[in-house]
């Protein structure tokens, strides 16, 4: 992107200085071209014209992103934020410093990521080529990377031990790459991404896949596989007997012995009279 200004002056140098002041740059930081040379007045009274100069500055993608961020931060009430640019391969890191700017990070870096995304759009618009912008505050990115590496290794070790998959919270592509790299260092573990857009997240599991759940024993004192018919006499009851078993058993009542008076004649023995 090119920023330019056109100014006039009695001399070329004065016109150039005026244009640089308009752009807010020093004369040695800007290029210029002379549009019109000054002409002197005839007899010191008639005609004549001032010098006309065009001054222009080529803005790098990182500088354009930094200028954009300063405007955004001013609207957020931060007018004294310093932005340091560190050029990298195919991109740059913008490190922000100042008083009371920690809130820019947001919950788990969400606000910082949003500002980084917008700054990246501005940077890529300069030359219409890919240019990666990384935004950082107080070395937050490095601390977050260390936290994610520890998390990825710990969850991977647990997945290998238990034989079960584990899903992590949604993350941006940069943080997902950190998790995938950390999982690769744990033998027997693998990771992949699932979900779409903002719900995209990492899943960590054993390389051989999840182990089947252990079979539960439904009959006390007996192990039986799924689908196997119960054997008779091993704690299995018919529905009717099961229903009866739920009702309390009634105590058996013994009938009182019948007296001899009520006994039948053929069952009675009389004593012989003398």
Cβ–Cβ < 8 Å for 104, 114: no
Confidence class of residue 211 from pLDDT cuts 50, 70 and 90? confident
CATH level 3 topology of 61-138: GMP Synthetase; Chain A, domain 3 (3.30.300)
Mean pLDDT of 225-240: 47
Q: Where are the domains of the chain?
A: 2-58, 61-138, 141-206
CA distance 201 to 172: 8
d(CA 82, CA 75): 15
Place of tokens 């070395």: 139
Compute the average pLDDT of residues 30-41: 87
Measure the CA–CA gap between 60 and 44, rounded to whole angstroms.
46
What superfamily in CATH does domain 141-206 come from? Answer: R3H-like domain (3.30.1370.50)
Higher confidence at residue 222 or residue 57?
A: 57
Residue of higher predicted confidence among 237 and 106: 106
pTM beyond cutoff 0.85: no
Angle CA(175)–CA(178)–CA(182) in degrees, nearest 5?
145
């Amino acid at each position: 992107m090119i920023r330019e200004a056109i100014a006039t002056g009695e001399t070329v140098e004065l016109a150039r200085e005026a244009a640089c002041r308009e752009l807010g740059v020093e004369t040695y930081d800007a290029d210029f071209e002379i549009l019109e040379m000054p002409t002197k007045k005839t007899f010191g009274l008639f005609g004549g014209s001032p010098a006309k100069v065009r001054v222009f500055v080529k803005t790098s993608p990182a500088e354009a992103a930094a200028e954009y961020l300063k405007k955004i931060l001013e609207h957020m009430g931060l007018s004294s934020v310093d932005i340091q640019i560190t050029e990298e391969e195919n991109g740059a890191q913008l490190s922000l410093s100042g008083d009371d700017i920690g809130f820019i990070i947001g919950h788990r870096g969400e606000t910082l990521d949003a500002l980084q995304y917008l700054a990246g759009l501005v940077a890529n618009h300069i030359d219409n080529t890919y240019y990666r912008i990384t935004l950082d505050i107080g070395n937050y990115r490095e601390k977050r990377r260390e936290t994610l590496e520890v998390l990825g290794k710990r969850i991977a070790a647990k997945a290998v031990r238990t034989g079960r998959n584990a899903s992590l919270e949604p993350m941006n592509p940069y943080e997902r790459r950190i998790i995938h790299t950390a999982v690769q260092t744990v033998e027997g573990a693998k990771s992949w991404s699932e979900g779409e857009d903002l719900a995209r997240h990492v899943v960590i599991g054993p390389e051989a896949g999840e182990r089947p759940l252990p079979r539960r024993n439904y009959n006390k004192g007996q192990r039986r596989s799924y689908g196997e018919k119960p054997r008779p006499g091993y704690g299995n009851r018919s529905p009717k007997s099961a229903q009866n078993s739920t009702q309390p058993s009634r105590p058996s009542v013994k009938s009182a012995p019948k007296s001899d008076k009520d006994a039948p004649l053929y069952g009675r023995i009389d004593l012989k009279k003398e």
